[in-house]
Structure formats: C-alpha cells, structure tokens
Chains A and B, each alone.
Chain A
Amino acid sequence: MNGDAEITERSLGKFLGAISPRAVHHDTRVVNFGDRLFYLATQCVAFSVIIIALLLFGELVRGSWESIQQFGLKFLVGTTWDPVARVFGTLPTIIGTLVKAAIALLFAVPISIGSAMFITFYVPKWFRPIISYPIELLAGIPSIVFGLWGLFVMVPIIRTVQIWLKANFGWFPLFDGPAVYGVGVLSGSVMLAIMIIPIITAISRDILLTVPRSQIEGMLALGGTKWEAIWKVALPYSRIGLVGAVVLGLGRAIGETMAVTMVGGNSFDLIHSLFDPVHSMASQIASEFTEATYSLYVSSLIYVGLVLFGITVVISLCAQLLIWRLSKGKVAVFE
C-alpha cells in the first residue's frame, strides 16, 4: 500500500495483491465512518464557498447601511457628489460606467467574433494554437500593465485623434468636448475593448467548436460557401452561447478597475461628449476610498461598490446561464 507511488494500472495491480480478505473486512467497518467524515468535511468546505459569497453581500450591505439609510434609492439618481456638503448621488458614475462598457462592446464584439470564426473555421487545425495562443496570452496580461500602456502610449494617440475629430467634425454633438485631455470616455472605451477582446474571442471559439461538424459539412455538400455555412448553420446553432460570451465581456468591462482608473479621466460630472473625462464606479472607489475622511463618505463609496456588485452579478448570472444552456457545461468559463 505504497501511497507515494503514482497510481498506474500496474501499481493498482500490486495494490490488489497486497490486500488480504481480512484487511478488506477490517476496512469495511472503518470505511463507513471514514467515508461519512470525509463526506461531511468536503460538504462543509463546499458549503463555505456559498457562505463566503453571502458574507460578501452581507458585508457590503452592512458597510453601506449608513448611506442607504441617508439617501435610499435616490442615491442612484442623484447627480451631486459633494464630500464637503455631505451629499452623495452616483448617477453620473453609473452612466459613465455603462456608456464606456457599451462603446467598448461596439468595438470589441465584431473583432472578437470575427477572430473566433476565423480561428474555428478557416485556420487549419495544426496552425490554430499559433493564432489562438497569443490571444489567450493577451487575456493573461494584468490590468495594471494595460493601464500603464494606456496611460503612456494610447492616451497621447487618442488625444491626437480627438483634436483632429474636433477640428473637422466639431459640429457633431458627440465630439463637442474638451479634446485636449486625452483621458476620457473614448480612451476608457478603447482600453476596455482591448481588454475584453481576448476574453470574448476565447469563449466564442470554444462555443463555435461545439457546432456539430456534420451540420456544416451538410451545408457545404449542398453547394453552400463557407460564408453561408457559417451564417446559416453555425451562427443560429451557437447564437445563445455567443450572446453569453458577449454578456460575460460586458460584465468584465463594467467591473474593470485599474486600467480605467488610469485612462478614464475621473470626473464627477455627467458626460455630454465622447471626450469628457468621467469616473466609472470602480475607479471612483479606487481613487477615493483611502481619502474618505468620515463614515458617511466611506459608507457611500461602499454603496457604490454594492451597486457595482449587483450589476456585475446579474450580468454574470445571465452569461453563465446562456453559456450553460448551449454547451451543457462543456465550456468552462473563468477567464
């Protein structure tokens, strides 16, 4: 009964020989107790995961209670965030977060689903890892490194673009902001798009791989082109899962913190144009929490965190349900 050896079929054979009927008999009595204990122990651990999740929610509610009592749901529609006057309302930040995430999806969705289709249907199998691997690496880059690159490389480029846009298309309402900052809605959105492209691509690829080969081959055998096979067979089949992948990307975009704090501009005002600097919920917490000097202020920031948590959990739930429905648990999501 050498437990250190790696278990192979051979060592299992030895294992078999080593056990005498008496030992088996002896073990069966211990078994029940040991198995019960083991079941209980792992059950407790598994249960603790649920407890921790509930605890997170509980702590957020407890931490934000003071602010919830003071402002209630008006917190969500208030447009003043004034620590000096002790008035807090977070509508501009919520709008800033959602707008940035939405624009990021606008950029990211076509690119990532296009890439996923290309990798799944056009690239020969032996070449697939060579393309999909770098994309997965991109997903592994820490958000802070994205932020650093965004701040020093991307923002100056976007500032140039903004100044050009304002000079030539300044009459367009969306381009009617202070273009010279560089940091702002546009920078934040582009940054987020770059960060969620690899996530959406990787999951869409896994989902497109679940489309039965025979269905696509059937379309090709009928004389369809690959394009038609993708649009008329693969897409309808995997539609739900792809929506799930996009929703998952949206969740990531909304919760993203560091990179957005560095390039988003961090202002409390309601946005009117693409160039306005604005906070997102995460960046507001990140940049103010350690400076919050009294309990209502801290409590209001935790309230923002609670709202953020609520939004991302609902989105995450939807995404998981959509992906599960299609893949029956075959696609594991944890990017």
Chain B
Amino acid sequence: MAMSAQKSEMSRRRYLFRKATERLQWVGMLLCTSVTVFFLLTILGYVIYHGADSIDWEFLTALPLPPGETGGGIANALVGSVMVVAAATLMAVPIGMGAAIFVNEFPSARLGRTVRFMAEVLTGVPSIVVGLFAYSMVVSPMGSFSGFSGAVAYAFIMVPIILITSHEAFRLVPPSLREASLALGVPKWRTIMRVVLPVSSSALLTGVVLAFSRALGEAAPMLFTAFGNPFWNLNLGKPVATVPLLIYTYATGPYDDWHRKAWGASLVLLVVVLVTSVLTRAFLRGKSHE
C-alpha cells in the first residue's frame, strides 16, 4: 500500500512538472513573438513620429538647398529613384520571366533546375557586391557615374526575385488548362503566351511589384553607381539622386535639418514599400478566394 501511494505521489509530481514546463514554454514563446512585434512597432512608430514632422508640400516638391541651409526638399531624389528602378524593371522583367517560363514549361531540361537553384543562391549576394559589379561593368568603361549603372545594379537584384515569383506563379496554373489548349492542336508557345501567361498574370504582377519595392529601398548599390545629384536630372547617362542614398548622406551628415529630412525621406520610403506589400498581399488573398 505504502509503495503504491509513493508511486502515485511521484507520478503526480511528474505530471505537475510537465504541466509547468508546458506553461513556461508557452510564456517563453509568447515573449519571443512579442519581442519581434515590439521592434516592428517601435521602428514604425519612430519613423512616423519623426518623419511626419518634416513632410510638407515643399519637402516633396522642392530641390535640396546647399548644405547647411534650412528648407528645400527631395523632389529630385523621388523622381530619380522611380526612374532608375523603372529602368531596372524594364531590364529585369524579360530576363526573369523568360527564364521562369523555361524553368517551368520545359521541365525536362536540366538547365532549368540549375537556373532555379542559381536564382535562389543569387538572392543571397550582398547588395554592395552587386554595386561593385555594376561599377566595374558599366561605370569604369563609361568613365562616369550614371543612373544607367544604378539601373543595372538594381536589375541584378530584381532578376532572381522575379524569376522565383514567376516560377511559383506558373506552377499554380492547372495542367488541365495547358492540356486543353494543346489537345486542340495549339502550339506550345501559343499555349504559353495565351493561356499560361494570362491565367497567372496577377501573380506575375505581384512578383514584379515585390521586386520593384525591394529595389526601391536598396541604398548600397547606389553608392558608386547612381552616386547622387543635388539637381534635377532626367538623363540616365548622368548621376542621379535616389531616396535611399539620400537618407544615408543626410543621416550621416552634420546638420539637424538634414537629419529631419532623413526621417522624412524614410517615412516616404516606408509608406511606399509597406503599402505595396499590403496591397499585393490583399490582392493575392482576394484572388485565391475566387
């Protein structure tokens, strides 16, 4: 009798111990998650708090004033960023999507798998190294910094992202659609152009937008390619101001007004990047419910 009481006492203790561990780990994991969400909220909060102060009409539409003077804006960088990233998109979309078509629609080719794997490895190349590449490919031979070289660097960053997202998009197209078209005697290439591409168009667009907003925030490759420019410039052959690089210059500069502008520009950048991300996500979710 005494033995069995002891035994049940032990198993009760063990049970309590297991229950306590269960509770403890729940709390621990909740803490981990809270820490992560906390950082997001603080960073967002600070950028909105400091940035909202400096954003006004002049900030968005005026050119920068000479260093040290208060006032002026970042209009040239806003336009420059959009210009350089748009040029990069024009280069990256055909390469990324074309390669993705090959990878998905001609799966028997070994090259396809290699390319897909390569793309995933390429997403890990540091953006500063991409900048070096664009420098020695474009800036060195051309002899000057230029918006075009910046676009080449951005395109290099965008290609693997577009390739991977497009591949995933093509994968989701039901094979029955392709087979229906092929069974009608439609050649494969027309099937791809007229069935596969239109069906996956929304997912393809999402991938491009994702790559666009990723490139928009990159400062490192612009340091020695697009370089920056305090004046209006719509010529891609000359140095161009971009928003992320402007934030870097202003944040590390000595003037308080520059710091204010860096916060303002960060808010603009953050709003663009986060709004695109929210919109594409909402768009995707809407599509998948249909």
Binary CB contact string for chain B from 112 to 137 against chain A (1 if under 8 A, 0 otherwise): 10110111111111111110110111
Q: Does B22 contact A (CB under 8 A)?
A: yes
What's the least CB distance linking A131 to chain B, in Å?
Answer: 6
Cβ–Cβ contact B251 & A262, under 8 A: yes
Q: Is the CB of B128 within 8 A of A305?
A: yes
Contacts A135-B36, A135-B40 given: A19-B185 contact, CB under 8 Å?
Answer: yes
Q: Is A148's CB under 8 angstroms from B266's CB? A: yes
Question: Which residues of chain B come closer than 8 Å to A45, judged between CB atoms?
Answer: 94-95, 98-99, 102
Q: Among the listed A6, A39, A135, A194, which residue makes an inter-chain contact with B106, where contact means beta carbons less than 8 Å apart?
A: A39
In the complex the two chains form, what is the Cα distance from A137 to B46 in whole Å? 16
Hey, which chain B residues are within 8 Å of A147, CB to CB? Answer: 248, 251
B218 within 8 A of A: yes
A50 touches B18 (CB 8 A): no
Q: Which residue of A lies closest to B252 (CB)?
A: A262
The answer to whether A248 has its CB under 8 Å from any CB of chain B is: yes
Count how many chain B residues have C-beta atoms less than 8 Å from C-beta atoms of the other chain.
105
Shortest distance in angstroms between A257's beta carbon and chain B's nearest beta carbon? 4
Residue of A nearest to B244 (CB): A144
Q: Which of A52-60, A81-89, A158-166, A171-179 contacts B (4 or more CB under 8 A)?
A: A52-60
For A145, the chain B residues whose CB sits under 8 A away are: 43, 47, 217, 247, 266, 269-270
Query: Beyond A137-B40, A144-B219, A151-B251, is A46–B136 a contact (Cβ under 8 Å)?
Result: no
B window 22-38: CB within 8 A of A: 22, 25-26, 28-33, 35-37
Determine if A198 is an interface residue (Cβ-Cβ < 8 Å): yes
**Bound CA–CA A227/B28 (angstroms):** 12
Contact A290/B101 with A63-B136, A110-B32 known, Cβ cut-off 8 Å: no
Contact partner, A227, options B21, B189, B216, B273, Cβ 8 Å: B21
Report A-chain residues with C-beta under 8 Å of the C-beta of B184: 15-16, 19, 24
In the assembled complex, the CB of B131 is this many whole angstroms from the nearest CB of chain A, namely: 8
- CB-nearest residue of chain A relative to B145? A290
Tell me which residues across on chain B come within 8 A of A168, comparing CB atoms.
none
In the bound complex, how far is the Cα of B47 from the Cα of A315, in angstroms?
33
Contact assessment for A140 and B273 in the assembled complex, using a CB-CB cutoff below 8 Å: yes
A112 with B36: CB separation less than 8 A:
yes
B57 CB-CB contact with A under 8 Å: no
**Contacts A43-B109, A134-B40, A248-B124 known; A114 to B156 CB distance under 8 Å?**
no
Query: How long is the Cα–Cα vector from A261 to B252 in the complex, in angstroms?
Result: 10
A144 to chain B, nearest CB (A): 4
A73 within 8 A of B: no
Asked if residues A38 and B188 are in contact (CB atoms below 8 Å), the reply is: yes
Q: A53–B163 Cα gap in the complex (Å)?
A: 14
* Alpha-carbon distance A169/B115, docked complex (angstroms): 53
Contact status B39-A138, CB under 8 Å: yes
Q: Report yes or no: B99 in contact with A49, Cβ–Cβ below 8 A.
A: yes
| B234 contacts partner chain A, Cβ-Cβ < 8 Å | no
- Which of the candidate stretches A25-33, A211-219, A233-241 sits at the interface with the other chain? A25-33
| Given A138-B39, A313-B121: 12 more A-B contacts, CB < 8 Å | A46-B99, A48-B95, A115-B36, A137-B274, A142-B219, A153-B42, A226-B22, A251-B124, A252-B124, A262-B251, A289-B224, A312-B129
Would you give 20 A-B contacts (Cβ < 8 Å), ordered by A? A12-B180, A16-B180, A31-B185, A35-B188, A42-B98, A52-B159, A60-B136, A62-B136, A110-B32, A115-B36, A131-B37, A135-B37, A137-B274, A142-B244, A144-B248, A152-B251, A153-B42, A258-B220, A289-B224, A334-B165
Nearest 3 CB-CB pairs, A to B? A142-B217, A255-B126, A316-B124
- Hey, which bits of chain B sit against chain A, CB under 8 A? 18-19, 21-22, 25-26, 28-33, 35-37, 39-43, 46-47, 50, 94-95, 98-99, 101-103, 105-106, 109, 111-112, 114-115, 117-130, 132-133, 135-137, 156, 159-161, 163-165, 168, 177, 180-181, 184-190, 192-195, 198-199, 213-214, 216-220, 223-224, 227, 244, 247-248, 251-252, 259, 262-263, 266, 269-270, 273-274, 277, 281
